[in-house]
Amino acid sequence: MAIETVGIVGAGQMGNGIAHVFALAGYDVLLNDVQQDNLTAARSIIEGNLDRQVSRDKITTQEKADAMARISTTLTLPDLGQTDLIIEAATERETVKQAIFEDLVPHLKPNTILTSNTSSISITRLASRTDRPEKFMGFHFMNPVPIMQLVELIRGIATDKETFDACLAVVERLGKTAATAEDFPAFIVNRILMPMINEAIYTLYEGVGSVRSIDTSLKLGANHPMGPLELADFIGLDTCLAIMNVLHDGLADTKYRPCPLLTKYVEAGWLGRKTGRGFYDYRGDGDPVPTR
């Protein structure tokens, strides 16, 4: 099952990073979004990130030019139907993802593989809404995609070996490392990471420590490169809440109950870096300032 053309749904932070690494690995990429401004911004971000790689002698100027030439964009979702592999990287809401796959199905080639970059939603359930559950997988990249080496490959209950092997070969061609996860809520990385972040928010909520003391404790006491609250802001507090809700609903265990403070921040629209405020305020010129 040779894969040479890749369609990507969603030109946000994850989508543009996925387009970047695929184009650099020699794949022809068709990037889709519902807004032209998002596609224009994605191309600009990809070019800037490639320039950074050139400046660090990671790639050559010619490799950058070749990668940019391999990326095309479209506002028309059905255009992706003729690609060999489709990676959905839209917002982490199941209804949105289901609607995307349902719109794609009538336009797909017989052998097109469908995948989702979801960080927590059931692959089996998403696959069941398509005409090819055996050719459907979870293809979960870590953020930022050009830097992070891991890709979680998640089989649904119906995924066949040929599809898994084809996706594994893609990960290897990208120069990344695959970890195989079973289709249970949040898979491996977020099953472990999100409860840690949620517990850090509880630690703040209960007054055990301040934002800075919690982040400093994990950076210096556990050798984490980024504190849990700083990391939550980087990921997006809405995404953190969505994953905790998937864990809580899917596993029915109170240890996965989202912290009320996390819910309150999301209700306020304080989602982290992308909105300028989360557990830190990023709107000033200097270092981010804790908001609690």
Q: Is 190 designated active site?
A: yes
* CA–CA distances in Å: residue 284 to residues 86, 198, 234, 237, 273: 39, 26, 17, 20, 12
Strand, helix or coil for residue 26: coil
205 — phi, psi (to 5°)? -60, -40
Catalytic-role residue among 49, 116, 190, 198 = 190
Cα 224 to Cα 243: distance, rounded to the nearest angstrom: 21
Measured CA angle at 41 (ends 20, 288), to 5 deg? 95
Strand, helix or coil for residue 88: strand
Strands (E), the chain: 5-9, 28-32, 71-74, 85-88, 113-116, 136-141, 150-155, 177-181, 280-281, 289-290
Catalytic-role residue among 32, 49, 92, 140 = 140
Give the tokens for residue 147: 């830097």
Instruction: DSSP letter for 277, please.
Output: B
Strand, helix or coil for residue 116: strand
Catalytic-role residue among 16, 119, 120, 122 = 119
Catalytic-role residue among 88, 92, 152, 230 = 152
Q: Is 217 designated active site?
A: no
Concatenating the DSSP letter of every residue in 246-259 gives HHHHHH--GGGPPP
Q: Is 140 designated active site?
A: yes
Backbone region of residue 49 per phi and psi (left: phi > 0; alpha: psi in -120 to 50; beta: other values): alpha
In single-letter form, the type of residue at position 12 comes to G
Q: Is 38 designated active site?
A: no
Catalytic residues: 119, 140, 152, 190
